[in-house]
A = this chain, B = another copy of it.
Amino acid sequence: MSDISPATVSEATIAIDAMGGDFGPEVTVPAALKFLAQQQQQNIVLVGLEDRIQYLVSQHNGQRFQDSGRLSIVHASEVVEMHEPPALALKKKKDSSMRVAINLVKQGEAEACVSAGNTGALMATARFVLKTIKGIDRPAIISTMPCKDPSNTVHMLDLGANVDSSPEMLLQFAVMGSVITEFVDKKDSPAIALLNVGAEEIKGSEKVKKASVLLNDSDLNYVGYVESDELFTSNVDVIVCDGFEGNVALKASEGTASMIFDILKEEYQRGFWAKLTAALSLPVLNRIKTRLDPRRHNGATLVGLNGIVVKSHGGTDEFGFLHALEEASTQVRRDVISHMQEKMESLI
């Protein structure tokens, strides 16, 4: 495990699809400027409609970063819409901010790309432009899960890029998750688990059972099955699953959290006494909100590609997008792509 020298770090550049997400440059531009102010050795390229971006950079006093050469703008004339079919975006919008940002990674002009745009289009475009790492059939979406114990980090993949994954693909997801955890979290021999269902008549699908055999035969630190009620409390490092199941788990969790907070809000607004205690409880409620803030986990990685591509939640704000930028920056610093390529090379 070799650390990158400061000299390399200073050259790192992140390309931002500035037009992506529900709020586009209104969020991406201020987040980029905040990132530049915080991370002295990183550069940013904002990709998208130049006039609009330049206007916002100036409005947020970001010209000093342009003057010092740490911030540049690359014009792209098209924007991929949030609900545009991925295949269409890939075929028709060759000058989209998303495509141009990914091209910069391909051309070596940026070390990572961050987008809050259409996930499907981002995946299709990134896969087409950057190609998968040799030995990997399909890229996957990986993210950290909010854990009850804040000192704990659990990575979960695939969160929705691949449905109908084969057992061999699940093994590849496990390898990718293991490398990410080893180099990003600096954790040796990460514990890998498969998502399964238990306690019922038949324990697990054929696919999961076969993947379990493959993982047992691998050199990974495979520890067995977890069920989805343990997502936030298990002490494994990586949870591996098909993208359908991962997406179902993630969204069921989001839906539950949002229902509970809606009910909390409703009940704390019902009548004078409730409102009074809500006001008194504010410091406590704010601590709870902070601990469960999904923005702190914003930034899923499209893993398995010859380049770092981080997907931010489309509806996030400046704080959330900043977190996605930090995620990309950490992966650049830890040289995740080289390690992933080496690992796959060793397995072929």
Contact = CB atoms under 8 A, between A and B. Distances in A.
Interface of A: 83, 86, 118-120, 123-124, 141, 146, 148, 160-164, 195, 197, 199-202, 204-207, 227-233, 243-245, 247-260, 262-264, 267-268, 270, 273-274, 276-278, 280-281, 283-284, 287-288, 291-292
Main secondary structure of the interface of A (DSSP, over half): helix
A205 B163 contact: yes
Nearest to A118: B199
Nearest to A200: B160
A255 B267 contact: no
Nearest to A280: B277
Contacts of A267: 284, 287-288, 291
Given A256-B257, A257-B256, A260-B257, A204 B245 contact: no
Number of copies of this protein chain within its complex: 2
29 contacts: A118-B199, A119-B199, A119-B201, A120-B199, A124-B201, A148-B263, A160-B197, A161-B200, A163-B197, A197-B243, A197-B251, A200-B243, A205-B244, A228-B248, A228-B249, A231-B256, A233-B259, A245-B245, A245-B248, A248-B252, A249-B252, A250-B252, A253-B256, A257-B260, A267-B287, A267-B291, A273-B283, A277-B280, A278-B284
